[in-house]
A and B are shown apart, each in its own frame.
Chain A
Amino acid sequence: MLVHGQIWTIKQLFVYPNEYIYWGIQIVMYPLMTGLVAGAFVLSSLYHVFGVKKLKDIARFSLVFSFALLFIAPVPLLLHLQHPWRGINVFMTPHFTSAIAAFGIVFSAYGAIVASELWFIYRKFFADTALPLKEKADKSLGEWIKFLIFCTLTLGAYDVSEEALKKDEKAIKILSGIGIPVACFLHGYAGFIFGSVKANALWMTPLMPVIFIMSAIVSGIALCIFTYIIAMELRKWAAARKKPASRAYPQSQEEMKSAEMSVIKMTTKYLLYFLLFAISLEFLDMVFRGYTAVKSWDVIRSVIYGRDFTNIFILQYGLGNFLPLVLLLMPRLSLKRTVVATVLVLFGVFMMRYNVVIGGQAFSLSFAGYMEYHIPVIPHNWDTFKEGVFGAVAVGIAPFPLFWLFNKIFPVFDFEESH
């Protein structure tokens, strides 16, 4: 009879009988997805709170994206639960000494902030869409549905006077200001879930939440740049196919391109700052561990410099951090180079999560044995499906169609902002 975790765990030397890699790929995806949520939000706040004007275009884009990612963030957690349908128990009997118990509250608070910020930003658009439809006498079925959706979304607030919009602007600024600490908390607390496990020698460090926040911002910005470029390319392609002056695509290709490049240059600058900070923290952690060399250091060293060397130094730091750093710092940044760099950064953050979650379980609690993780590729039951390559890829892809769907309600391009 197979035990949960047994199928993807290979034990070497002395490992306690009950030890397996219980936290698999979905727990790697969980901090990755929450990190993207928080990072995308911080990027949008750079414009809304700090008034970095050049980021105006990408700010709206990343806020909507953050909202789409938000719905996917709890999915890996649910998929990893042995009793997913009991997940609601966390809300029903939250046990507050547990870091996970606060998840529902932090998550809902953050969701409420993003939703209300979006509402204030898009309020004028909702009203402008709903009002003409309201007056139209013979609505078709499609128009009826559209009218009902947008009419509901306005929440009865049709006032789009200059004065009302000024108030909206103020609300957006406040919400986005509150949102930054909440977003950081949302993810810092994911770091706390790991950092506070005293039984795990690799996880236990007070730096964990801060490292998580920094790498979260890095990944969020990278994903927004990547998606932004892809979306702009699609728009350019669409604009080229249609007549240049068509109503849906008012800008010409050249205009779009130059606007895009200036936004991207600015955003990559922020990406670089946060990336450098994240790397410094991770190195500080590693140096400190080696220098203090407590009881667990022997086994941790053998994991970091031996078993996981490729994963940590070649894939995470080399391919995921150093190479994109060089690519972004080299002069005459091009779109293609940015795409490559952001994909590498995202891969690097994924590897960082992987090396923390799986790496933390690579050695036994006995400090005298090792566990090797073999991710299930071809699923042959529900467990290997949801906690294998399929489950992870599904979670990774899911935000994109959701973002596309949200874009129908909160259009991120071609829309005059209320302020």
Chain B
Amino acid sequence: MISRRKFLKNTVKGIAGAALPIAAIEFIDPKKIFAEKPDAKTRWVFVVNTYKCVGCGFCVKACKTENQVPYDAKVTRTWVERYVVLKNGQVFADSPMGARDGFTTSKIALGENKFKDINPKDIDKAFFVPKLCNQCANPPCVQVCPVGATFQLPDGVVLVDRTWCIGCGYCIMACPYGVRFFHPVYHTAEKCTFCYHRITKGMKTACVGACPFGARMIGNIKDPNDPVTKIIMTERVAILKEEYGTKPQVYYIGLDREVK
């Protein structure tokens, strides 16, 4: 017969013994290990200079080809939006085919094959805004994935594991920027990866390489000598939809208040 005293003693010992290995598991937290590696000296960020964008769509073309998103599918990892603000305060915006072929007409697409012809005299201002995944510091898409198929790397880039994604679409719903979609071939969640396969080999992203005007730049914000870091630190930059608390890491120069 075990005494109460002995029982309590053994219980305490048992708990202490069990806690030890648990502490060991916490010790080898992969995030900490990553943080200690020199690799963690990288945090990829993007700068878009909207003043330089002319809406040619070369970036979209390059992205589709590079990342094998079917060329004619009406989804794209990056796209360019056109905004036209009229003198009467009305705002029109469109992005036909994600601006894959550029903006070849001054008519604004209204959906359902309808177009709006605007008299140039009525226009106050007009501009282009390229969009891509914001690689948020607080990504809601990663939070909601039920199986952990989408994840954030220590260098900030959010990726999708095509072999594990169940295709529930929750991440697509959770992204306030509408950058995610189902890949028409793989039927898994798909998004811009900052061309991770390129940037990790020292190359620029496909869209940065294709932009003839230098409107797009990618850099490492942890490197103080990176030109992109310098822009973010010294110039007036803005981010998209700050109110969602996602902490987006694509910075815009010349972002207008009308940009959705």
| Chain A interface (Cβ < 8 Å from any Cβ of B) | 1-6, 10-20, 22-23, 77, 80-83, 86-87, 89-90, 92-95, 97-101, 103, 193, 197-200, 295, 364-369
Q: Which of A19, A193, A197 contacts B178 (CB 8 A)?
A: A19
Q: Which of A16, A89, A93, A101 contacts B95 (CB 8 A)?
A: A16
Using Cβ atoms and an 8 Å threshold, which residues of chain A touch B176? 198-199, 365
How many angstroms from the CA of A19 to the CA of B179 in the assembled complex?
A: 8
How many angstroms from the CA of A295 to the CA of B242 in the assembled complex?
A: 13
Is B255 part of the contact surface with A, judged by Cβ < 8 Å? Answer: no
Question: Contacts A14-B260, A199-B244 known; A81 to B167 CB distance under 8 Å?
Answer: yes
Using Cβ atoms and an 8 Å threshold, which residues of chain A touch B75? 3, 17-18
| CB-based contact A93/B182 at 8 Å | no
CB distance from B230 to the nearest CB of A (A): 31
How many angstroms from the CA of A82 to the CA of B177 in the assembled complex?
A: 22
| CB-based contact B147/A82 at 8 Å | no
CB distance from B57 to the nearest CB of A (A): 12
Using Cβ atoms and an 8 Å threshold, which residues of chain A touch B260? 14, 365-368
CB distance from A106 to the nearest CB of B (A): 12
Give the number of chain B interface residues (Cβ < 8 Å).
Answer: 52
CB distance from B68 to the nearest CB of A (A): 12
| CB-based contact A82/B173 at 8 Å | no
How many angstroms from the CA of A22 to the CA of B75 in the assembled complex?
A: 13
Chain A residue nearest in CB terms to B179: A18
> 7 nearest interchain CB pairs?
A82-B167, A16-B178, A366-B260, A100-B146, A95-B148, A199-B176, A18-B181
Chain A residue nearest in CB terms to B144: A98
How many angstroms from the CA of A101 to the CA of B179 in the assembled complex?
A: 23
How many angstroms from the CA of A364 to the CA of B94 in the assembled complex?
A: 13
Using Cβ atoms and an 8 Å threshold, which residues of chain B touch A23? 169, 173
Chain A residue nearest in CB terms to B98: A17
* Chain A-chain B contacts (Cβ-Cβ < 8 Å), number: 150
0/1 per residue, B221-260, Cβ < 8 Å to A? 0000000000000000000000111000000000000001
How many angstroms from the CA of A29 to the CA of B188 in the assembled complex?
A: 22
Chain A residue nearest in CB terms to B258: A368
Is B112 part of the contact surface with A, judged by Cβ < 8 Å? Answer: yes
Using Cβ atoms and an 8 Å threshold, which residues of chain A touch B143? 97-98
Is B85 part of the contact surface with A, judged by Cβ < 8 Å? Answer: no
| CB-based contact A3/B173 at 8 Å | no
Is B180 part of the contact surface with A, judged by Cβ < 8 Å? Answer: yes
Using Cβ atoms and an 8 Å threshold, which residues of chain B touch A10? 111-112
Using Cβ atoms and an 8 Å threshold, which residues of chain A touch B174? 197-199
How many angstroms from the CA of A368 to the CA of B184 in the assembled complex?
A: 26
Using Cβ atoms and an 8 Å threshold, which residues of chain A touch B165? 82-83, 86
Ordered by A's residue number, 21 sampled pairs between the chains whose C-beta atoms are within 8 Å are A13-B111, A14-B93, A16-B178, A17-B79, A18-B179, A20-B181, A83-B188, A86-B167, A90-B166, A93-B164, A95-B147, A97-B143, A97-B144, A98-B144, A99-B146, A198-B176, A198-B245, A199-B140, A365-B176, A365-B177, A365-B178
How many angstroms from the CA of A150 to the CA of B149 in the assembled complex?
A: 43
How many angstroms from the CA of A238 to the CA of B230 in the assembled complex?
A: 85
CB distance from B98 to the nearest CB of A (A): 4
Question: Contacts A3-B182, A18-B180 known; A198 to B140 CB distance under 8 Å?
Answer: yes
Chain A residue nearest in CB terms to B78: A17
- Beyond A2-B184, A13-B110, A97-B142, 13 additional pairs, beta carbon < 8 A: A1-B184, A12-B112, A16-B79, A18-B76, A80-B169, A81-B168, A82-B182, A83-B167, A86-B165, A86-B166, A93-B164, A199-B244, A200-B173
Using Cβ atoms and an 8 Å threshold, which residues of chain A touch B166? 81-83, 86-87, 89-90
| Overall SS of chain B's interface | loop
Using Cβ atoms and an 8 Å threshold, which residues of chain A touch B97? 17
Chain A residue nearest in CB terms to B146: A100
| CB-based contact A103/B167 at 8 Å | no
| CB-based contact A99/B182 at 8 Å | no
0/1 per residue, B107-122, Cβ < 8 Å to A? 0001110000000000
Using Cβ atoms and an 8 Å threshold, which residues of chain A touch B146? 90, 94-95, 98-101, 103
Most A CB atoms within 10 A — which of B97, B112, B164, B182?
A: B182
Question: Contacts A83-B188, A197-B174 known; A90 to B147 CB distance under 8 Å?
Answer: yes
How many angstroms from the CA of A198 to the CA of B95 in the assembled complex?
A: 25
How many angstroms from the CA of A3 to the CA of B148 in the assembled complex?
A: 24
Question: Contacts A1-B70, A100-B170 known; A86 to B182 CB distance under 8 Å?
Answer: no
How many angstroms from the CA of A77 to the CA of B149 in the assembled complex?
A: 18
Chain A residue nearest in CB terms to B77: A18
Most A CB atoms within 10 A — which of B164, B175, B260?
A: B260
Chain B residue nearest in CB terms to A366: B260
| CB-based contact B148/A93 at 8 Å | yes
Chain B residues numbered 69-98 whose CB sits less than 8 Å from any CB in chain A: 70, 72-76, 79, 91-95, 97-98
CB distance from A277 to the nearest CB of B (A): 28
Using Cβ atoms and an 8 Å threshold, which residues of chain B touch A200? 173
Most B CB atoms within 10 A — which of A82, A97, A193?
A: A82
Is B145 part of the contact surface with A, judged by Cβ < 8 Å? Answer: yes
Using Cβ atoms and an 8 Å threshold, which residues of chain B touch A366? 93, 178, 260
| CB-based contact B181/A3 at 8 Å | yes
How many angstroms from the CA of A1 to the CA of B73 in the assembled complex?
A: 5
| CB-based contact A22/B172 at 8 Å | yes
| CB-based contact A198/B168 at 8 Å | no
Using Cβ atoms and an 8 Å threshold, which residues of chain B touch A22? 169, 172-173, 182
Is B13 part of the contact surface with A, judged by Cβ < 8 Å? Answer: no
How many angstroms from the CA of A200 to the CA of B177 in the assembled complex?
A: 11
